[in-house]
Structure 1
Amino acid sequence: MLPYWMSRTNLLLQEEAINALQSKKVLLLGLGGVGGICAEMLVRAGVGNITIVDNDKVDASNINRQLIALHSTLQQPKAELWHKRLLDINPNLQVEYLQLFADKQWIRTYIQPEKFDYVIDCIDTLTPKVFLLQHCVENKIKIVSSMGAGGKINPLLVQACDISETYECNLAKYVRKKLRKVNIRKGIKVVFSPEVTMPGSILVTENAKPKKSIIGTISYMPAIFGCTIASVVITDLLGLKIHN
């Protein structure tokens, strides 16, 4: 018997599909503007087992776009805040939160074939992002990756495709370049926007380590990326074809 809070989803997808989602195990790395809303949409849709990974604390600059970023949550760990929020959505959720930086050794050790039904990459640091993608491709682990939501304002251009089909996205360009060095050119699902980056929206700085720049964002764009990624995962897990 499904709980009443799932009744609208049940009307749309039917109980068999929701039961299938409840049995799935998803790993999500990165709880920023994209990853946080993605985690929430997965749980509200009925995914029953999720592991969330992030090492950051809430900063005041996050308030313009991240659901858990409030003046009352400043300097609190994002992973812990999301753990509490997701359980408040579904008290029966199987959820593990890991407050750590996903380096190469951790990725290699922790993410094993058949451990998760889907891996979601919302990491915004290039080196671990690329290694995660390489690791999942080489081990035949299903993964979808977020490209850059910063510097863009048109929600109608956000789309899901193979990484080989991306363009006008600086993050995707750098990811493709590094993946080519390990002979990976396609076979990775991504969400990206081909919108030309807004002029003046990138600030190069040495104070944003491990990143080399700060990119301007608008409230809704990371959320749209996160919702689109959630739709890729949910429909893929259910065998529905709505994306390329």
Structure 2
Amino acid sequence: MENRQRKTPEEFSRTAMLLGDDALERLMNSTVAVFGLGGVGGQCAEALCRAGVGHLLLVDGDAVSRSNINRQLLATQDTVGMRKTEAARQRLLSINPALEVQLRDVFYSADTADSVDLSRCDCIVDAIDTVTAKLLLIERAYALGVPVISCMGAGNKLDPSRFEAADIYKTTMCPLARVMRKELRKRGIPSLRVIYSQEEAITPQGEAEDSQRSRTTPGSASFCAPAAGLLAAAEAVRTVLSEQNNPQ
């Protein structure tokens, strides 16, 4: 009987050249969740889509605003006012119509966590910008044995070359990582892969005029948050392929 191999989709042929057909097929059969679709998460979601990940779970409860346009891939004049999850869905399906996209238009919290099923995820990217929600997500994923790539602060930075991936307990300079390390130790979580910057934070030269947030809004540049998002996507792809090569 003739042995027929699955034909690699032309859209992902260059990725298959780099990773191999078997690895690409594993990516196409994988599920990755992205929590937060801002400058980091939106860029990460698109990179995962273009890498060939076949199933994406996207979680964000916000809408696109004009102040997002300077750094967020999903933000254009045409998408202002649109829910970020819907903007992401439309954009990603225009890239890969075969992509399976699941949306949760919620801010992740103790009140909404049960509406998001993490158990079927091969990897989770945390691009949430609040400590409480990050910790809740990481704790729940840890209990399920689902690996997490957690993104630390990308605001008030100007040097994209200073972003790197590391275990959180080996990070320096990042104030958010410092807080997270302390809280993760309390929760008995021994390691966490993170994307963080070694650049010292820059003091913003003013305040955001349209900010309705109770905490300080950081300044941002078009080239920093997306750089962190691309690093997060690369780590997620490596994690998915590593986990599937070494099943528990």
Q: 1:105: how far off?
A: 4.1
Residues 106 and 112, structure 2, Cα contact 8 Å, conserved in 1: no
Q: After superposing the two structures, state which structure 1 stretch, 70-79 or 131-140, moved more.
A: 131-140
Q: Are 2:73 and 1:67 equivalent residues in the alignment? A: yes
Pick one of 111, 128, 131 that aligns with 1:123.
128
Unaligned runs of 5+ in 2: 1-6, 244-248
Identity %: 36
Q: Structure 1's 202 and 152: CA in aligned 2 closer, same or farther, altered over 3 A?
A: farther
Any idea what SS the aligned residue of 1:71 has? coil
Counterpart in 1 of 2:233?
230
Question: For residue 120 of structure 1, what is the amino acid of its counterpart?
Answer: V
Unaligned runs of 5+ in 1: none
Question: For residue 191 of structure 2, what is the amino acid of its counterpart?
Answer: G
Residues 25 and 47, structure 1, Cα contact 8 Å, conserved in 2: yes
Counterpart in 2 of 1:160?
165
Q: 1:171: how far off?
A: 1.5
Question: For residue 219 of structure 1, what is the amino acid of its counterpart?
Answer: S
Distance 2:40 2:79 in 1: 18
Q: Structure 1's 204 and 166: CA in aligned 2 closer, same or farther, altered over 3 A?
A: farther
Counterpart in 2 of 1:176?
181
Q: After superposing the two structures, state which structure 1 stretch, 169-178 or 190-199, moved more.
A: 169-178
Any idea what SS the aligned residue of 2:40 has? helix
Q: Are 2:201 and 1:197 equivalent residues in the alignment? A: yes
Residues 121 and 129, structure 1, Cα contact 8 Å, conserved in 2: yes
What's the Cα RMSD here? 2.1
Counterpart in 2 of 1:239?
242
Distance 1:31 1:122 in 2: 7
TM-score (structure 1 length as normaliser): 0.90
Residues 202 and 215, structure 1, Cα contact 8 Å, conserved in 2: no
Q: 1:109: how far off?
A: 5.6
What are the equivalent positions in structure 2 for 1:110-149 lying under 5 Å apart?
A: 110-113=116-119, 115-149=120-154
Any idea what SS the aligned residue of 1:16 has? helix
Residues 127 and 151, structure 2, Cα contact 8 Å, conserved in 1: yes
Q: Structure 1's 62 and 204: CA in aligned 2 closer, same or farther, altered over 3 A?
A: closer
Distance 2:118 2:102 in 1: 16
Distance 1:22 1:53 in 2: 20
Q: 1:198: how far off?
A: 1.1
Distance 1:9 1:168 in 2: 34
Distance 1:62 1:190 in 2: 23
Q: Are 2:13 and 1:7 equivalent residues in the alignment? A: yes
Distance 1:39 1:85 in 2: 10
Distance 2:184 2:51 in 1: 32
TM-score (structure 2 length as normaliser): 0.89
